Amino acid sequence: MPEIEKHFDEIRAYGAKLLTINNNACDNKGQNEIISEIKSNNINSINALVHSIADGNIGSFTLNTERKTDEYGLARTINAMGSSFVIWTQLLIENKFLSENGRILGFTSEGSSKVLNQYGAVGMAKATLEAACRYLAVELAPKKITVNLLNPGVMLTNAIKVFPNVTKFVNKAIERNPSGRLTTPEDIAKVAEFILSDNAAWITGEIIRVDGGEQLISI
């Protein structure tokens, strides 16, 4: 929490009003409490939903490895990283928070369509997320609400450190990328800023790669 609070302070330094809520966004109790907190702060309209929940199980399905995905881990991963994209959209629509011309943005990965080491549960969740994006985009188009996903290249973040053989994985990603480097959070932020803007009003249901060409090269 101290690390994220530092970034919250940076946002406030620009004069922005920032409401932060520390709760479980993946179960009914937490979701209802978050909605109540939004209402109690007299927030009547939300321009954009940026879904970036990362609570996944890394492990194999059947191989005799140290990490193995069980039924609970599989269900938790698909709910957090896939189904909750739909649930949060429903909550904002039902409570009349998401305004016309609103934006919904999520984050998928190459593992939704290609096999990555011990990534099965997350890959299934990301495939769920991508299907949800397409269906929501069509359903919400009459409201002029766009729904899109960004598909980033490999980034050196804390999340990637849970992967087995992470150094080898990162070095291979750099070697594979025709642009010669890893993707950075700043690369993603610039594209996200555009997709959330009025200039992207005619883009919906899309999965947009932000990777310097990395995924054009076979694994």
Average pLDDT, the chain: 95
Q: Which of 24-28, 66-70, 93-97 is least confident?
A: 66-70
Distances (CA, A) of 96 to 57, 87, 102, 185, 192: 33, 14, 12, 31, 24
Residues counted in the chain: 219
pLDDT of residue 63: 87
Q: pLDDT exceeding 70 applies to what percent of the chain?
A: 100
SS3 (DSSP) at 107? strand
Is the separation of the CB atoms in 173 and 182 below 8 Å? yes
Q: Which two tokens stand for residue 180?
A: 């010669």
pLDDT of residue 163: 79
Distances (CA, A) of 127 to 110, 176, 207: 10, 23, 11
Q: Which of 14-18, 31-35, 105-109, 191-195 is least confident?
A: 14-18
36 pLDDT exceeds 80?
yes
pLDDT of residue 193: 98
pLDDT of residue 32: 97
Q: For residue 56, which amino acid is it?
A: G
Instruction: Give the residue carrying structure tokens 């321009």.
Output: 47
Q: What is the pLDDT of residues 128-142, one digit of tens each?
A: 999 999 999 999 999
Q: pLDDT exceeding 90 applies to what percent of the chain?
A: 85
Whole-structure pTM value: 0.94
What secondary structure letter does DSSP report for 66?
S
Q: Which two tokens stand for residue 87?
A: 């649930």
- Return the sign of the alpha-carbon dihedral for residues 44, 100, 7, 23: positive
27 pLDDT exceeds 90?
yes
99 pLDDT exceeds 90?
no
Q: Which domains, from first to last, does the chain contain?
A: 44-216 (3.40.50.720)
Q: What is the pLDDT of residues 152-163, one digit of tens each?
A: 999 998 888 877
pLDDT band at 168 (very low <50, low <70, confident <90, very high): very high
